[in-house]
Amino acid sequence: MIDTHTHLNDPKFEQDLDEVIQRAKSSGVDRMIVCGYDIPSSRAAVEIARKHEGVFATVGVHPHEAATFSADTLRMLRELAQEPRVVAVGETGLDFYYSFSPWPQQEKAFAHQIELALELDLPIVVHSRLAGRAVLEIIDRYQPTPTGVFHCFSESKEIAQTVTAKGFFIGIDGPITFKPKKQGTSTSSGRCELQEIVRIVPLTNIVVETDCPYLTPVPYRGRRNEPAYLVYIVEELARTLGRTIEEIDRITSENAERLFPRMIEPPG
């Protein structure tokens, strides 16, 4: 299995990172991607990837941190993106749910990171929360269309169909294992809607991820999440689609390799 989105660079893993990576590998997660969310965490992601077999990095500035994005940030990202084992730019995008950074700054930081990804021929890791339309509007400004993933997909069915038709992947996480909420109590896609989404988009556009330390799947919900728990997401996806776990593992792993070509072929 490939955990396509982790934050092993989060301070919550500082004490036992080696054990966490070891447990992941013992559970069948042989590759994982550590995603940056600002400059220090991007640098940490590159460092972790350098030290651990099967671990890769992405470098980017999360929409929550977009207010800090400057010309200097872009220069540092460009440098970091050319380090070995960096497979994408991100996570970047728009978050209109929390809106921790003003919208114009989020849009500006996102546009700069798309341009950087196109310049370096890398995919983008998109964070989109209640912002699907605005994210698409920005992506549509670029020719050729960037490649990438809408990680931790929480937008509508309609957005899922639109983004996969453009060739984007969607990332499925722990919420697919959560108990259904009462109708109308959730602002983002809960389990029921996610289960419908994975049935209507092509399976060739789905990748799996933990987004650890967040969004821990059942049966460990409430604890710190880690890549070893990816198996619960793969199992639930297999159950939902009426496929075997082996099939889902094989197909989503092939998808991850198409999404992140540098995972198999380093540049140059």
Residues at the site binding Ni ion, with contacts judged by CB under 5 A: 211
**CA separation, residue 168 to residues 63, 125, 171, 172, 258 (Å):** 19, 10, 10, 13, 11
161 or 188: CB nearest Ni ion: 188
Of 234, 33, 16, nearest in space to 149 by CA: 33
- d(CA 63, CA 75) in angstroms, rounded, equals 18
Report, in Å, the least distance between residue 91 CB and Ni ion: 5
Nearest approach, Cβ of 101 to Ni ion (angstroms)? 16
- Largest separation between any pair of C-alpha atoms in the chain: 52
In the block, tokens 């919550």 appear at 12
164: left (phi over 0), alpha (psi -120 to 50) or beta: alpha
Q: Closest residue to Ni ion, Cβ-based?
A: 211
Measure the CA–CA gap between 5 and 151, rounded to whole angstroms.
8
Closer CB to Ni ion, 193 or 211, in the complex: 211
> Minimal distance in Å, beta carbon 6 to Ni ion?
8
Between 63 and 146, CB nearer to Ni ion? 63
89 neighbors 81 (Cβ within 8 angstroms)? yes
Least Å distance, CB 62 to Ni ion, is: 7
- Kindly report the number of other CB atoms within 10 A of residue 121's CB atom: 10
Distance CA 90, CA 5 (A): 10
Write down the least CB distance from residue 202 to Ni ion, Å: 24
CB of 34 to Ni ion, least distance (A): 10
Is 107 or 211 the residue whose CB approaches Ni ion more closely?
A: 211
Considering the complex, state which of residue 75 and residue 260 has its C-beta at the smaller distance from Ni ion. Answer: 260
* Nearer to Ni ion (CB atom), residue 3 or residue 211: 211
